[in-house]
Amino acid sequence: MSQSFTDFVPVQRFQPTVAASPDGTQVAYSSNLAGQYHLWIVPAAGGQPRALTDDPDLAVRAMAWHPDGDRLVFMADRDGDEQYQLFEVDAKGGEPRPLTEAAARQHVLADDPFGPDGDVLVYAANDRDPGVQDVLVRRGDEVRRLESEPGAMLFPAEVSPDGRWLGVTVFRSNTDSDVAVADLRADTLSLTVLTPHEGAAQHLAGPWLDDSSGLYVRTDVGREFIGLSRQRLDGSTAVPVEQPDWDVEHVAASRPPGVRDGAALDGGVLAWSVNASGRSVLNVRVGREPARQIALPSGEIDALALTADGATAIVLVNTATRPSDILAVDLVSDGVGTGGGTGTWRYLTDSRPPALADLDPVAPELVAYPTHDGRDIPAWLYRPRGAGPFPVVVSVHGGPEAQERPIWAYAGLYQYLLANGIGVLAPNVRGSTGYGATYQRLIHRDWGGAELGDLDHAARWLRGLDGLRGSEDLDWVDADRLAVYGGSFGGFAALSCLSRLPEHWSAGVSIVGPSNLITLVRSVPPTWRPLMAAWVGDPDEDAELLAERSPLTYADAIVAPLFVIQGAKDPRVAKAESDQMVERLRGRGVEVRYDVYEDEGHGFTRRENEIRALTDVGGFLVEHLVGDRGGSG
């Protein structure tokens, strides 16, 4: 083929955050259009975007408008080090002003960090103790603190409409959390837990009810999936709002002036998205009218916000056939909530790469394959156009408590591989989110265990071994040309596959992938360390198990060519994780390419680095899977 990887790279990529100005006329977001994730604003009616930051080293991760509409606060780090600092910048432009100064510490903005009058700014920080994440409430020069303790991280959500209460998520693990509130008028800040429970259950704080009597909570208590409920401050039982057989993933509410009925949003709008088999479905309820679904491009909603009047939803949507872009969705004027209409929408950004001018991208098929314990593993299967036979890359997502979705993945890598005659199987092995709490918890203290069996069976299914294919039409797959690819946990999985299932693979790619679970657990960020024993294992008490599950233990079994990419400033997976694996392989003469990015952390913040790295990955996979045989197999 004549197209290069850069032809598939979106014009820009986004951080998963959007914010509407108080008057609803402007939308703020973070884009790497200029090479780094800068803060941008664009008119909600459509028009020319404008950058508010331009520091090439400063990556903007989240932002919020001040209630006066004249300025914004944002959270940013440098070179991917995840040591977030807070800044303020005027909406008209100018030099950002730092709001926090504690070096080598994390400062995390609340979901909606301002009080209703803008006099209070709320954020989390580990400035008091590197291993503990507190909540800080800043009013002028006064800063008050809500202290946490090891084993529980505090994430502030929103201040109530009356300015008195702060909603907080008390996070203990990916499957165990509570919602609590703090009285901001009290002499001493303290938490009152609204969702006490036994065992593991998720409770995630959302927006407030209009009369400040309670707030929306996303929770899976007593069920497999995360639903949406209303939780009152008086301790009464939560009232279900939406309880689908899938996860509610985002929720936003408008609070128009004069609307103060907490039982139902009489004049307001409630919007939420549901993850249905990996595809996001946007739901909207206007006042007391029945909820309606809004037809959007089929893919994943990465961020959702409402204008204050509830007339417009701002949605960041990523699909398998068009990369992430921001949409403005009209929720009211076409009759949503009054008997008609499904919500008209328009793009505010255009990130389409050059390849889409003359290429019909491939949409994936949702499939399932059997695994070792009788479960069916959901997966997205991308088939190249033509007869084949074609090689296939098994792509393993990070997390591991995350989910492969039908999106423009890895800056267009999937579509580039497809155009070169390489298929992709992207499974959601056990531990993935989106398939219920039980399925998600299966990964806890079992990294490199049963999920490796899921990947073994993915390869066996593709290769037609042991009768696993059944009636599926996979004759187009070349059983002798498989590769494995992944980043973060996916990188760990790729290394596990290459070292413990070497018979399946012709090549592999690991991006910031751990190779030794013992050293990983000991080197993660301080705020994570109290959580690691329940998530992965204790480096002392479980040393034997962690060693048994570590790819480094089986490094001598790796024979397939390997490409390793590492960020030198990665705070989650230290560079030593990749160093030790590469050293072992090079000592045996195994073909291994090792690229270290000195100005990156856990992933890529600089556009040029991401393009270079994924261009090299695409070239490596094409070389080892297709070679001189051409894209048709």
The helix/strand/coil state of 49 is: coil
DSSP state of 439: H
Is pLDDT of 332 > 80?
no
- What number of helices (H) and strands (E) belong to the chain? 9, 36
- The Cα–Cα gap between 393 and 484 comes to 6
* Mean pLDDT score, 479-484: 96
In percent, the amount of the chain with pLDDT more than 70 equals 94
- The Cα–Cα gap between 366 and 173 comes to 29
Task: Supply the pLDDT for residue 150.
Answer: 80
pLDDT digit string, tens, across residues 411-436: 999 999 999 999 999 999 999 999 99
Is pLDDT of 338 > 50?
no
540 falls within a domain: yes
Extract the tokens encoding 317: 């949507």
Secondary structure (H, E, C), 540-565: CCCHHHHHHCCHHHHHHHCCCCEEEE
Extract the tokens encoding 399: 């997390």
268 falls within a domain: no
- Cβ atoms of 351 and 29 within 8 Å: the answer is no
* Structural domain for 588, as ranges: 362-629
Task: Supply the pLDDT for residue 473.
Answer: 85
- The Cα–Cα gap between 16 and 34 comes to 17
Strand partners, 155: 169
pLDDT band at 131 (very low <50, low <70, confident <90, very high): confident
- Cβ atoms of 477 and 424 within 8 Å: the answer is no
Task: Supply the pLDDT for residue 628.
Answer: 62
pLDDT band at 629 (very low <50, low <70, confident <90, very high): low
* Mean pLDDT score, 454-477: 87
DSSP string, 187-210: SS--EEES---SSS--EEEEEEPT
- The Cα–Cα gap between 227 and 241 comes to 8
* Mean pLDDT score, 21-35: 96
Please choose, from the candidates 206, 339, 208, 346, the residue with its C-alpha nearest in 3D space to the C-alpha of residue 268.
208
* Mean pLDDT score, 8-15: 95
- Cβ atoms of 505 and 483 within 8 Å: the answer is yes
- The Cα–Cα gap between 206 and 629 comes to 53
144 falls within a domain: no
* Mean pLDDT score, 20-43: 96
24 falls within a domain: no
Amino acid at 505: W
How many structural domains does the chain have?
1
Task: Supply the pLDDT for residue 200.
Answer: 85
pLDDT digit string, tens, across residues 206-234: 999 989 999 999 999 999 999 999 999 98
528 falls within a domain: yes
537 falls within a domain: yes
Task: Supply the pLDDT for residue 103.
Answer: 85
- Cβ atoms of 353 and 403 within 8 Å: the answer is no
Task: Supply the pLDDT for residue 149.
Answer: 81
Distant-in-sequence, close-in-space partners of 295: CB < 8 Å, separation ≥ 6: 342, 343
613 falls within a domain: yes
pLDDT band at 495 (very low <50, low <70, confident <90, very high): very high
The helix/strand/coil state of 551 is: helix
Strand partners, 136: 123, 145
DSSP state of 291: P
Is pLDDT of 619 > 50?
yes
pLDDT band at 264 (very low <50, low <70, confident <90, very high): very low
In percent, the amount of the chain with pLDDT more than 90 equals 80
pLDDT band at 2 (very low <50, low <70, confident <90, very high): low
| Positive or negative: CA dihedral 500, 504, 508, 513 | negative
DSSP state of 152: B
**What is the average pLDDT value for the chain, to the nearest integer?**
91
Q: 398 to each of 188, 206, 528, how far by Cα in Å?
A: 40, 25, 17
β-bridge pairing 279-286 and 50-51: unpaired
Task: Supply the pLDDT for residue 476.
Answer: 95
Amino acid at 225: F
Least confident residue range of 22-26, 176-180, 198-202, 400-404 = 198-202
Is pLDDT of 335 > 70?
no
Q: Which helix (H) or strand (E) holds 314?
A: strand 312-319
Please choose, from the candidates 191, 190, 160, 189, the residue with its C-alpha nearest in 3D space to the C-alpha of residue 178.
191
* Mean pLDDT score, 510-525: 92
Q: What angle do CA 548, 501, 443 make, to 5 degrees?
A: 55
Is pLDDT of 444 > 70?
yes
Task: Supply the pLDDT for residue 527.
Answer: 79
424 falls within a domain: yes
pLDDT digit string, tens, across residues 349-385: 999 999 999 889 999 999 999 999 999 999 999 999 9
- Cβ atoms of 191 and 181 within 8 Å: the answer is yes
- Cβ atoms of 622 and 417 within 8 Å: the answer is yes
User: Rg for the chain (alpha carbons), in Å?
Assistant: 24
**CATH assignment at residue 524:** 3.40.50.1820
Extract the tokens encoding 594: 């090792």
- The Cα–Cα gap between 522 and 569 comes to 16
pLDDT band at 175 (very low <50, low <70, confident <90, very high): confident
pLDDT band at 339 (very low <50, low <70, confident <90, very high): very low
The helix/strand/coil state of 136 is: strand
